[in-house]
Chains A and B, each alone.
Chain A
Amino acid sequence: MIRKIFFPALKYLILSMGAFIMVLPFLWMASTAVKPPSEVLSWPPEFLPRHVTLENFRTVFATAPFVRFFFNSVAMATLCTFSVLLTSALAGYVFAKFRFPGRTALFILVLATAMVPFETYMIPLYISMVKLELVNTFIGLLAPYLIMSYGIFFMRQNVLASIPDEIIDASRIDGASEWSIFFKVIFPMLKGSVGALSIFAFMQTWAAFIWPLIITSSRELWTMELGLGMFQYRFTVDLGPINAGSMLSIFPVLLVFLLMRRHIIKGITLTGLKG
């Protein structure tokens, strides 16, 4: 009897306490976005604004063409996500289920490139872009984000964990070609991990800052993050507009998360483990 009430109560208590601390910066961001400048600086910080205003949002749109930036970010993140999903699923599947000479070395190589911080090799990459005349182009902007080492690693692990060899062999015996096996059998079975990967890829591309900053030389190609950087002054940050802009910026990523969530957590229940 106690168990029926105590454990669930404990669970909800832990989850709620955690959730509170998780959501705090988000709440502060939302409240600052609608505060007038005179209220932004309060100490200790006040979460409830005394006056609610849309002035910060107006400032954001008046400073630069943020609609364009938003569009660019959406286009960039969407395209890169599709590219990452395709390349990661394919490569991950091959690394998991096929043996060929050089497989391990190649896989370690892929993984190894994730261990090097981007800022250390972005200048040589930029120079390559110059040579290919891809500076200040949409393709140049997308380039580094079309592929994701973690993505390949992640899909490989998920294939290993959830796709039994028998299914593949059965399909081969049935006469299906390798490519159709991949698209018709494997890919659908990876719904959950594809969903998760799409969130991660979208998020990572959306948040890109230093590369877009270096590769672009015209406003038309700027992304939301670059636009928000315009509110980072030399010695202060203009908190009102930057939080208003951040609210706008977080929205698509959150949307992708909510859309994909249903893919990931279909049904939630694990039978026999009633909470």
Chain B
Amino acid sequence: MKRTLKWMAIVTMVVLMVPALLMAGGGKEAKPTGPVKLSLWGGFPEMEAFYKYAAEEYRKTHPNVEFTILTHPLREFEQKLSATIPSNTAADIIEISMYANQKFIEAGLIPELPPKVKEYFLAPSRFSEFVKKNNTYKDKLYGLPIFQGRTALFWNKKMFQEAGLSGPPKTLSEMAQYAKKLAKYDANGNLTRSGHSLRLSGQGSGVAEKFWFILYPMGGSILEESKEKGKYHAGYNSDAGRRALKYYIDALYVDKWDSHAIKHDADAFELELTAMFFRESWVIGDIAKKAPSLSYDTAPVPADVRWGRITNPVNLYVTRSCKNPDVAWDFAMFLNEEKNLVWLLDNVGWLPVRQDINLDSVLAKKPQFKAFVMSDPKYEEFGYTVIAAFDEIMTKLAERLVAAFLDKSLANNPAGIAKVIQDAANETNEILKKAKLYGE
């Protein structure tokens, strides 16, 4: 037995080692002539299909270009970039959001847009003012946008009808009223269906981001730019911030249309355990797969003293280790061609950033996208402030909010709510001070 095992081992080793070593992936550089090799790394695995499709289309007119496309889950991808960008071993093109790339841009490790791409980027009505500002750092432009996450309200048509509601809420106070009508309880008074599914827990910045959806229409924001440009302070230590927190506390402990004990988010909506919730456009594809008979629609985020929704654009950057930047940027602009962006929306579900394209063909098939792509001069866009410290601010605020949402004593307690907001804002300002970005 031992001898056979030993032989098995040796044979296996030989059999495995030879081909494996022969096929060791290329670390050395290719010969100067020959095909152009372009590598693209992304942090959104669902985009794999899009890049594969676009690469094949590109090769129809550029058959000498060979693509290596790798997508990774975002958290690990950002770690990979931390290792590869400073050591010049990153891919030719990387797909990442501006603020996640910020530390590398600030360190001068990311090249700015070349003139041709800059011209393309600044073409009138191609990209919104928000996006143009988002991609600017010290008056230079970085990154070509490709897709974005935007928020809308998902609402269940059948439940609304049954409750006698004619359409989606237009204001936040309407939303709370509707939620109260749509909530359902069991014999013991426990919530079995939430009127609107709020984001109450979980790590990372998600809780703070969703809080912002309500904070912004109420007039506040996470950060406000100070009179001195490039400096900020907490933008929610105000009536808006307190009202926003009160909105959640009332939902949980006064009007009781949401609770910690039931399911939340897309899963809840698909299982009909909630009547409404805020999310990005990828949910549309998810519902089509998992709950195809769900009767639902989307609507713009309700307004309050102002009207606006979050926008999280993701960009393509050509890195400095790229040997063929012209081809790389050409491909990046190719990805932004109308027919490719239409494919993106139809098949992947993330929204294109580019505005001067016609998406009617997709909207006809999937009208739920309308609430995401619609624009209105009064419907504002807001997004992450592009500073490296922003993630820390959001994450720490999220952690405070999670604790606050669990605190029953905040119900009908304006002083308690004010204190929570004050303490959180102080922390935000401390973080800004440490990063030397604080300004009144």
Contact = CB atoms under 8 A, between A and B. Distances in A.
Contacts of B80: 213-214
A165 interface: no
Interface in B4-54: 9, 12-13, 16-17, 20-21, 23-28, 39, 41, 43-46, 48
B223 interface: no
A interface, over-half SS: helix
A155 to B, nearest CB: 18
A177 interface: no
B48 A43 contact: no
B282 A138 contact: no
Contact of A136 (B21, B26, B271): B26
Interface stretch (A14-22, A23-31, A74-82): A74-82
Interface in A167-213: 188, 209-210, 213
Interface stretch (B66-74, B129-137, B155-163, B398-406): B66-74
B361 interface: no
Interface residues of A, number: 48
Interface residues of B, number: 52
B286 A43 contact: no
A123 B39 CA distance: 22
Contact of B271 (A41, A78, A209): A41
Contacts, number: 122
Interface in B73-132: 73-74, 76-77, 79-80, 82-84, 87, 89, 91
A217 B68 contact: yes
A61 B149 CA distance: 29
B68 A233 contact: no
B83 A217 contact: no
B46 to A, nearest CB: 4
B12 to A, nearest CB: 6
B25 A230 contact: no
B291 interface: yes
Given A74-B16, A78-B16, A232-B73, A123 B45 contact: no
Interface stretch (A96-104, A108-116, A218-226): A218-226
Nearest to A131: B87
A148 B28 CA distance: 30
Contacts of B76: 209-210, 213, 229
A218 B279 CA distance: 34
B70 A219 contact: yes
B278 to A, nearest CB: 12
A218 B72 CA distance: 12
14 contacts: A38-B292, A41-B290, A74-B16, A75-B17, A79-B13, A79-B17, A133-B28, A135-B27, A136-B25, A213-B79, A219-B68, A229-B76, A233-B282, A235-B280
Given A75-B16, A234-B46, 12 more contacts: A37-B289, A78-B16, A123-B83, A136-B25, A138-B24, A139-B24, A140-B27, A213-B80, A218-B26, A229-B45, A230-B48, A236-B282
